[in-house]
Structures are given as structure tokens and as C-alpha cells.
């Protein structure tokens, strides 16, 4: 255990990729602390190291040097088996291109992460996850029968189905029109309100404005880390009817 309230803590993390005989320094000393319940955007130009940071936070990769402590556990030196366990238990991944299986229904897609566990209540849990993103009525539809925004909601439901404490979203609205983007960001804000830590990689200032904190990366280092002033609330078109605010 640590005394820190941080759920994600990177200390002087470097990542070096070896390309043939050349070393590529993707991260050159990243120190970053994210508390439970934060909603953070990671921004920066292509090649700056955003995906590398996400891969390390998501336990898909480990630092070359430095420390990564996730919910009090030093994960920097763990083997693949334990990393996979941590990914399964703590982290939900949301992808730009949704990564849904086209032949399966929305429900079956959401159920995928549960298939390897003991699956007696996996249907119910998957349906609950779909309901959390407002897609209960579409449970039987295949991805091709859903809009882009609905497909991404299925992607979010799949990320939620194991009740992770952290959601990592890589350009979650990158393939969506602005109306669907607002729906997605509204869902991410609501999940964050419920206590889930949300980390989003994005190029879009519109998305950053809906987070609470923007971390700018350039050439493998953090060049800026500041609260977002007046965080915007996303209000999806056609929303309302949820009570009496006027
Ligand atoms: P971003 O997500 O901001 O576009 P990345 O984290 O993907 O940046 O990449 C950071 C740097 O590391 C880039 O120079 C990229 O070419 C390099 N890089 C990323 N992944 C690998 C890899 N698997 N092998 C070699 N170089 C890589």
C-alpha cells in the first residue's frame, strides 16, 4: 500500500523501443499522478507518446525504467500473467474503431470479456452494462444495424461489464459526428460522476473541454498539466425529461 490517494502513478517513466539497431525513446521521463475519480485528457501531436502512456497505464506494456504504481501495486516489474489479471480486473478499454465482432449481437459483444470466467450470470451483467449506456433495447442488434455512436456505446458497455475502476479511451469520438460525440462524452461524464476514473487520449479540443484536466505530451515528455476551467457538461440532443431542472 502507498499513502497516496493516486490510483495511477507514473514516476520518471521512460520507454525505449528497439528498432533493429536503433533505439527510439518514446517516453523520456514521464511523471504523472491521477487520483481515483478524475477525468483526464491526454493531448499532443502524433508520435508524441500518448499511446505509449496509455499502453503503460493499461498494463499492455511496461516501462523501460521508472515506476508505475496502480492502485498501490507496483506493476512495473510484473510478468504478463499478472498484468493480464490486472487489466481484467481494473481497466476497461474503449477504442476509436469500437473493435466489435460484426457477426455477434451487441449483447454477445458485451459478454465477450466474461466468457472466460464462470459465466452463469454473464447475460444479465451484459444486459445491465448495455442498459447503463442506454442500449438495452438494442441488445439483439448486430453492429452493422447500429449507428457509429451506438456501436461506441456497445464498446463502452463491453469496457464496463467487469466493473473496472478505470476507463481508458483512445480517441473514443474520432470516428463520430459531433452529435454522436456529445452522446459519448455525456456517457463518459456520467460514468465519471459515478466514480470511475476516466482517461481519454484525444486530438479534439471539444472533448478536452469536457474533461477536468488536460495533460499535454510532446516528444515523450509532459509539457503541460492543467485543470480545465469551467468543465463543460455534454447534453445530448433529445435528452431532457430526466427531472425538473428548467
Ligand atoms: P502517439 O500516440 O502520440 O502518436 P506513440 O506513443 O504511438 O505516439 O509513439 C511515440 C514514439 O514511439 C513515436 O516516435 C513512435 O514511432 C514510437 N513507437 C511507438 N510504438 C513503437 C513500437 N512498438 N516500436 C517502435 N517505435 C514505436
Testing ligand 1's pocket by substitution, the residue of 10, 15, 16, 17 carrying the most ligand atoms inside 8 A of its CB is 17
Selected residue with higher pLDDT from 187 and 236: 187
Q: pLDDT grade, residue 230 (50/70/90)?
A: confident
Q: Does 23 sit in the ligand 1 pocket, CB within 6 Å?
A: no
Question: From CA 152, how far away is CA 145, in angstroms rounded?
Answer: 13
Q: Does 50 sit in the ligand 1 pocket, CB within 6 Å?
A: yes
Q: Does 24 sit in the ligand 1 pocket, CB within 6 Å?
A: yes
Q: pLDDT grade, residue 71 (50/70/90)?
A: very high
Testing ligand 1's pocket by substitution, the residue of 10, 20, 22, 24 carrying the most ligand atoms inside 8 A of its CB is 24
Q: pLDDT grade, residue 118 (50/70/90)?
A: low
Report the pLDDT value the prediction gives residue 6, as an integer from 0 to 100: 85
Q: Does 216 sit in the ligand 1 pocket, CB within 6 Å?
A: no
Strands across the sheet containing 213-218: 91-94, 166-170, 197-201, 39-43, 213-218, 221-227
Rounded to two decimals, what is the model's pTM? Answer: 0.92
Q: What is the mean pLDDT of residues 184-208?
A: 95
Q: How far is CA 9 from the centre of its chain?
A: 16
* CA 137 to ligand 1 center in whole angstroms: 40
pLDDT at residue 136 is higher than 60 = yes
Strand partners, 8: 34, 70
**Residues with Cβ within 8 Å of residue 67, at least 6 apart in sequence:** 9, 10, 11, 12, 13, 74, 76
Please state the φ and ψ torsions of residue 228, each to the nearest 5 degrees: -85, 125
Testing ligand 1's pocket by substitution, the residue of 47, 58, 223 carrying the most ligand atoms inside 8 A of its CB is 47
Q: Does 49 sit in the ligand 1 pocket, CB within 6 Å?
A: yes
CB 204 within 8 A of CB 31: no
Selected residue with higher pLDDT from 235 and 207: 207
Closest residue (by CA) to atom 23 of ligand 1?
Answer: 17
Q: What is the mean pLDDT of residues 24-50?
A: 97
Closest residue (by CA) to atom 25 of ligand 1?
Answer: 17
Q: Helix, strand or coil for residue 88? A: helix
Q: What is the mean pLDDT of residues 97-115?
A: 95
Closest residue (by CA) to atom 17 of ligand 1?
Answer: 26
Q: Does 245 sit in the ligand 1 pocket, CB within 6 Å?
A: no
* CA 29 to ligand 1 center in whole angstroms: 15
Amino acid at each position: 500500500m502507498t499513502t497516496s490517494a493516486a490510483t495511477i502513478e507514473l514516476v520518471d517513466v521512460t520507454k525505449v523501443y528497439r528498432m533493429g539497431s536503433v533505439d527510439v525513446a518514446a517516453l523520456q521521463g514521464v511523471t504523472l499522478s491521477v487520483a481515483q475519480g478524475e477525468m483526464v485528457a491526454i493531448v499532443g501531436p502524433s508520435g508524441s507518446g500518448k499511446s505509449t502512456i496509455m499502453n503503460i497505464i493499461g498494463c499492455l506494456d511496461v516501462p523501460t525504467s521508472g515506476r508505475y504504481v496502480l492502485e498501490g501495486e507496483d506493476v512495473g516489474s510484473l510478468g504478463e500473467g499478472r498484468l493480464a489479471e490486472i487489466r481484467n480486473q481494473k481497466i476497461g478499454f474503449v477504442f476509436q474503431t469500437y473493435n466489435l465482432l460484426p457477426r455477434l449481437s451487441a449483447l454477445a459483444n458485451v459478454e465477450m470479456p466474461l466468457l472466460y470466467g464462470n459465466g452463469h450470470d454473464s447475460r444479465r451483467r451484459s444486459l445491465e452494462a448495455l442498459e447503463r449506456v442506454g442500449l438495452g433495447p438494442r441488445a439483439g442488434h448486430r453492429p452493422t444495424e447500429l449507428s457509429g455512436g451506438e456501436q461506441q456505446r456497445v464498446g463502452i458497455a463491453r469496457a464496463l461489464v467487469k466493473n473496472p475502476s478505470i476507463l481508458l479511451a483512445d480517441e473514443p469520438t474520432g470516428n463520430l459526428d459531433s452529435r454522436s460525440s456529445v452522446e459519448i462524452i455525456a456517457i463518459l461524464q456520467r460514468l465519471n460522476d459515478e466514480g470511475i476514473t476516466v482517461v481519454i487520449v484525444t486530438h479534439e479540443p471539444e472533448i478536452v473541454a469536457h474533461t477536468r484536466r488536460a495533460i499535454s505530451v510532446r516528444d515523450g515528455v509532459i509539457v503541460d498539466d492543467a485543470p480545465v476551467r469551467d468543465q463543460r457538461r455534454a447534453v445530448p440532443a433529445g435528452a431532457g425529461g430526466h427531472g425538473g431542472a428548467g
